[in-house]
Chains A and B, each alone.
Chain A
Amino acid sequence: MTDLNKLTIAGARDALRKGDVTSAELTQSCLAAIDGAGALNAFVHNTPDVALDQAKAADARIKSGDAPAMCGIPIGVKDLFCTKGVASQAASKILEGFTPEYESTVTTQLFDAGAVMLGKLNMDEFAMGSSNETSVYGAAINPWRRAGDAAALTPGGSSGGSAAAVAADLCLAATGTDTGGSIRQPAAFTGITGIKPTYGRCSRWGIVAFASSLDQAGPMTKDVRDAAIMLQAMCGHDPKDSTSATLPVPDFEAALTGDIRGKTIGIPREYHMDGMPAEIEALWAEGRRMLQDAGAKIVDISLPHTKYALPTYYVIAPAEASSNLARYDGVRYGYRAALGKGDGITEMYEKTRAEGFGSEVQRRVMVGTYVLSAGFYDAYYNRARKVRSLIKRDFEQAFAQGVDAILTPTTPSAAFGLGEMVDADPVQMYLNDVFTVTVNLAGLPGVSLPAGKDSQGLPLGLQLIGQPWAEADLLNTAFALEQAAGFHDKPQKWW
């Protein structure tokens, strides 16, 4: 077989089980693809030795008949996951040289299932960004280009390296994390599938924290079936994470029947934003029609506090981040600034953090510091927590009316050019998360899948939002939509 790196997880799994390919071959194929894709800047720490060892072990396991679905599947891992003995620096200078002595729960589970790690993937620094431009490694590049235009586009963020790598077939799948849309927005920008599960589904242990009450890991894959397979391996109860749910994990792949007859899909009227491109509106309407054709009942719903989701998010996430990132102080690991004569501990902190954090991270840490500071806590932080309760209540009311899932666009636009937003104020960039961030605030599962292209040939995604813990049902709805949309396009290789 050629182009093994282009296989899906399901395809590779079946071939591995049949003995048509070995994990070593799959892995070699991906490693070669990675070698040829330096221009994408997706992989930032390559681990070929780890990969080949794991592939060998996986092949032995497959031979012995003990082969879980992920066994022998080469994947990429977002740099936010701590991987034992492998550089893990959240794309930040402040974690320069940091090599954890421990393995995150999610990657442990993936490796226990036999997955093969090809390397660590680019991302926005500390997962703060929507374009991958805040990375210390430089931006990852979207394998897609506008028709007839060689301008480099963003793969989205923060899981931009993961998205670029999967879209360019450098790996079969990748891990991502999503705090305000960081799996779904890059998935939409690169024509792949990504799911953020219900808060508490995946353990956060060993994942560098951005905003603890919002962060969730999830898979980024080539299709919905792969998302189901990989999510299955990633999630489950972890006693090391106090917010990890004790619920059993259903068989997600088995739920993919494509039959959504009788399901009720809600269309939230507040997601019709002023100035949203007509193409996005059209795609959304198309998605609505496809689901209806598949037998679902479509209802218009209202999520009245949608408008306040972004400001709520931009209080809560920076507040938590300002505290979560206080540990990067140059004392126990990572970067420590060179000190001048007479510099004491305070100068050490201030210089280390000024030199070690990029400007977006600094901005959010300081905004978070401000909203928590004396005299402002109630006006900002506590008020944001109350509005968050209202946002969650909006969803609960919709679900109480019998809505099984909610259909929205994933993003308000297709991928934009790198550097295009440099001069815009940060708030403009934040608007990228407008459709995704509500899902994090309400702790719900959300999946993005490619459903069409814009006039310049760039992929566009639709988002489905499910009830808490209803990932199986949500993935099945996504599967039905995927079949109807029939999006199989790949970026043309230019790198």
Chain B
Amino acid sequence: MSIDIETASRVAKLARIKVSDDALPALAEEFNNILGFIEQLQEVNVDGIEPMVSVTPMPLPRRVDDVTDGNQQAKVLANAPDAREGFFAVPKVVE
């Protein structure tokens, strides 16, 4: 599996990380390095092996349907880079 510049660019976009065009070749090469390393996994015989679901098997705990949290607008917004009128503000989203 070899990653070309276009794939590197697509992955960066999916991850929402800006990578300038001139940095893409190096990024693609780095990917190829790491992927070459993990490529070893293809040699393992995994026939009939279930993928690991949880490393320490136990039942999923469930909470009771009580309101025990929230009602804390100020705390929720306390760290916001831009909060206005009780909302988080972000650059306009066009749908």
**A positions within 8 Å CB-CB of B:** 97-99, 101, 198-200, 213, 239, 242-243, 245-246, 305, 307-308, 310-312, 314-315, 322, 326, 329-336, 339, 343-351, 353-354, 357, 362-363, 365-367, 369-371, 373, 379-380, 382-390, 392, 425-427, 430, 441-443, 468
Contact = CB atoms under 8 A, between A and B. Distances in A.
B33 A200 contact: no
A159 to B, nearest CB: 21
Main secondary structure of the interface of A (DSSP, over half): helix
A367 B17 contact: no
A222 B34 CA distance: 36
Contacts of A426: 30, 33-34
Contacts of B35: 367, 370
A183 B3 CA distance: 34
Contacts of B14: 369, 373
Interface residues of B, number: 52
Nearest to A380: B38
B16 A383 contact: no
Given A98-B79, A354-B19, 16 more contacts: A97-B79, A99-B78, A239-B61, A311-B39, A347-B91, A366-B8, A366-B27, A369-B14, A370-B7, A379-B42, A380-B38, A382-B51, A383-B46, A389-B49, A425-B30, A425-B33
Given A213-B55, A386-B50, A239 B63 contact: yes
Contacts of A344: 91-94
Contact of B42 (A246, A383, A390): A383
A58 to B, nearest CB: 28
B90 to A, nearest CB: 6
Contacts of A350: 13, 16-18
Nearest to A384: B41
Contact of A390 (B18, B31, B46): B46
Contacts of A386: 44, 46, 49-52
Contacts of A322: 15
Contact of B50 (A239, A384, A389, A443): A389
A386 B11 CA distance: 24
A429 B31 CA distance: 15
Nearest to A335: B81
A354 B52 contact: no
B58 A245 contact: yes
Residue of B31, B39, B41 with most partner-chain A CB within 10 A:
B41
A333 B75 CA distance: 11
Contacts of A213: 54-55
B66 interface: no
Nearest to A355: B18
B61 A242 contact: yes
A99 B77 CA distance: 12
10 A-B pairs with the lowest CB-CB distances in the bound complex, closest first: A443-B55, A385-B51, A333-B79, A350-B18, A336-B81, A354-B18, A386-B46, A349-B16, A311-B38, A101-B75
B31 A348 contact: no
Nearest to A337: B18
Contacts of B63: 239
B55 A308 contact: no
Interface of B: 1, 3, 7-8, 11-19, 27, 30-31, 33-35, 37-42, 44, 46, 49-52, 54-56, 58, 60-61, 63, 72, 75-76, 78-82, 88, 90-94
Nearest to B59: A246
B65 to A, nearest CB: 15
Given A344-B92, A344-B93, A334 B34 contact: no
A333 B79 CA distance: 5
Contacts of A427: 33-34, 37
Contacts of B72: 101
Given A312-B41, A335-B81, A366-B31, A243 B46 contact: no
Contacts of B80: 331-333
Contacts of B33: 425-427
Contacts of B8: 366
A387 B34 contact: no
Contacts of B92: 344-345
A382 to B, nearest CB: 5
A263 B22 CA distance: 59
A350 B18 CA distance: 5
Contacts of A382: 51
A245 B78 contact: no
Contact of A308 (B3, B40, B90): B40
A334 B79 contact: yes
A351 B92 CA distance: 16
Contacts of B82: 336
Contacts of B90: 331, 345, 348
Nearest to A307: B40
A365 B15 contact: yes
A370 B40 contact: no
Contacts of B55: 199, 213, 388, 392, 441-443
29 contacts: A101-B79, A198-B56, A213-B54, A239-B63, A245-B58, A305-B44, A310-B37, A311-B41, A312-B41, A332-B80, A336-B82, A345-B90, A350-B13, A353-B18, A363-B30, A365-B15, A366-B17, A369-B14, A379-B1, A380-B38, A386-B46, A386-B50, A387-B41, A387-B44, A390-B46, A390-B49, A426-B30, A427-B33, A427-B37
